[in-house]
Amino acid sequence: YDAIVIGAGLGGLLSAAQLLQRGKSVALLERLDHCGGRFTAKTFKGVQVSTGAVHMVPFGSSGVLARTLRRLHIPHRLLDADVFGSFHVHGRQVRARGLLGVYRFLGPRQFFWFLRLGYLMFFRPLPASESDLPFSAWLARHINVEQNRELVAFFERIARFALSLELHQVSTAEVIATTKNMFRYGAPGIVEGGCGALVAELERRLRERGAAVLLSHEVLQILHADGRVTGVRARNKATGDELLLSAPLVVSDIGPRATTALVENRQVRQAELLKQQREAAQAIAAASEAPPAYREAVGLKVHVLSDVSLIPHRGIMYCLDTQRIAGIVQPTNCDPRLAPPGKHLLITHQVLQSENIEEEKALAIADLRRLFGETFERHCRILTMSVYRGEWPVNRLAQGRDLSPVTPLQGLFLVGDAVKPSGYLMVEGVAQSVNYVLDLLDA
């Protein structure tokens, strides 16, 4: 092969498609029995239950992913939402199509400070001294956080929903770069048919164009000689057979930690990794040190099926008056086929704030009761509650802490959610990481 791609997540699929478009022969190896990684879905009780993403693309039909798909002629449709959607605050949902909606729940005094922050973020060059400041510290420098609680909660819940981070875990420069891109590209969009439909189209295109798509094939080692990558050693999980594939180019979509391990002929296992992380966290707590801000972004997501519509728009309902849930989408407002006829699918997202998973789940349920009261008890059913951490996190590295896609081995490159360029979040960053690597190869 001209190129081997490790991992058929969105980063791997887009890499393979772009390499094929450039006339390369490509083998794509995926250890699971399906493509898509954290950006696909499985049908469960007639619902498109996603493996990660909430069926939403951050910059919608004008974003980087949409442009890449158009360039690759991959059939798809993104149904754009409003920039904000609504806010649940003081026990009720406030619709917020634009700035006026924000005014409605912030009131005149906090709205003044909101505009002032907007000016500082968009129109004033960011002083070098503020660039690396945690965004929470930047806010405290420019507003009185005690007197502007809803305004702080506004930023906090958006960061939790979009980045799975607390405000002290993300730099001011990164928040500003990401916010500017949100306005530059436009509102988020829901994928018609859900993320599974988009992944199916990408996989179909790869097979049509002659790529070897090897599912249930786990890469065990990245082979190299004299500082250059030469291929991979993999195992067919169905038969147990091992195979060697050679190529002068290997693109890895499995993240820096797992890629480095494969170069050293070892594998990262989820159970071992979680144990190591737990021990490291305990050691840090015992030494009363602050936890490092650059670890992966972790989260908890709930799929709820409802008989009645609970969110009256296509966007995100940010929850300012909850303990854990940061935001909720109702993607069936865009595509009713994501759930059985007459039913509504809601997906919640929150940052995982402790190791006590049962408590985190209980707090999510308490929030759903608080948000929807009787209606939740009478009309809603929880389908799944999933935790994202370790080797299956929300982001492999905290936004803004991404690494370079270039590795010390010639011919080995990284794509995916740990090598996103600054300002590009979630799958927009994944798509942009692929574009960046392709530009390097073309140069």
Annotate each residue in 398-417 with x if it binds ligand FAD (CB under 6 A) or - if it does not, as one string. Answer: ------------------xx
Of 5, 18, 30, 400, the residue at the interface with ligand FAD (CB under 6 A) is: 30
- Rounded Cα distance between 331 and 191, Å, is 9
Helix axes 172-185, 99-122, angle to 10 degrees: 120
- DSSP letters spanning 298-357: -EEEEEEEESS----SSSEEEESS-SS--EEE-GGGT-GGGSSTT-EEEEEEEE--SS-H
Of 3, 4, 5, 7, the residue at the interface with ligand FAD (CB under 6 A) is: 7
Closer to ligand FAD by Cβ: residue 153 or 351:
351
Nearest-approach distance from CB 433 to ligand FAD, in angstroms: 8
**For 332, phi and psi rounded to 5 degrees?**
-65, -15
| Residue 192 interacts with ligand FAD (CB under 6 A): yes or no | no
| Residue 223 interacts with ligand FAD (CB under 6 A): yes or no | no
Q: Which range binds ligand FAD by CB under 6 A, 135-143, 273-281, 302-310, 423-431?
A: 423-431
Closer to ligand FAD by Cβ: residue 140 or 387:
387
Helix (H, G, I), strand (E, B) or coil at 418: coil
Of 19, 29, 250, 397, the residue at the interface with ligand FAD (CB under 6 A) is: 29
Nearest-approach distance from CB 58 to ligand FAD, in angstroms: 5
Q: Which residue is nearest to ligand FAD (CB)?
A: 9
Closer to ligand FAD by Cβ: residue 129 or 354:
354
Q: Which range binds ligand FAD by CB under 6 A, 56-64, 174-182, 279-287, 354-362?
A: 56-64
- What is the Cβ-side half-sphere exposure of residue 90, based on CA atoms within 13 angstroms? 7
Helix (H, G, I), strand (E, B) or coil at 33: coil
| Residue 326 interacts with ligand FAD (CB under 6 A): yes or no | no
Nearest-approach distance from CB 54 to ligand FAD, in angstroms: 4
- The footprint of ligand FAD on residues 231-290 (CB under 6 A) is 253-254, 258
Is residue 94 left, alpha or beta, with left meaning phi > 0 and alpha meaning psi from -120 to 50?
Answer: beta
Q: Which range binds ligand FAD by CB under 6 A, 106-114, 126-134, 351-359, 426-434?
A: 426-434
Sequence-distant (6+) residues with CB within 8 A of 102 are 84, 87, 96, 111, 114, 154
Closer to ligand FAD by Cβ: residue 69 or 254:
254
Sequence-distant (6+) residues with CB within 8 A of 69 are 76, 198
Of 388, 413, 424, 436, the residue at the interface with ligand FAD (CB under 6 A) is: 388
| Residue 335 interacts with ligand FAD (CB under 6 A): yes or no | no
405 touches 419 (CB < 8 A): yes
b/e sequence 116-126, b meaning 16+ C-beta within 10 Å: ebeebbeeeee
The amino acid that residue 58 corresponds to is P
Nearest-approach distance from CB 273 to ligand FAD, in angstroms: 12
Count of beta carbons in the 10 Å neighbourhood of residue 133: 17
Closer to ligand FAD by Cβ: residue 173 or 316:
316
Q: Which range binds ligand FAD by CB under 6 A, 35-43, 165-173, 205-213, 375-383?
A: 35-43
Closer to ligand FAD by Cβ: residue 39 or 111:
39
395 touches 178 (CB < 8 A): no
| Residue 193 interacts with ligand FAD (CB under 6 A): yes or no | no
- Rounded Cα distance between 192 and 56, Å, is 10
Interface positions with ligand FAD (CB under 6 A): 6-12, 29-32, 37-39, 52-54, 56-58, 218-219, 253-254, 258, 299, 301, 349, 388, 394, 416-417, 426-427, 430
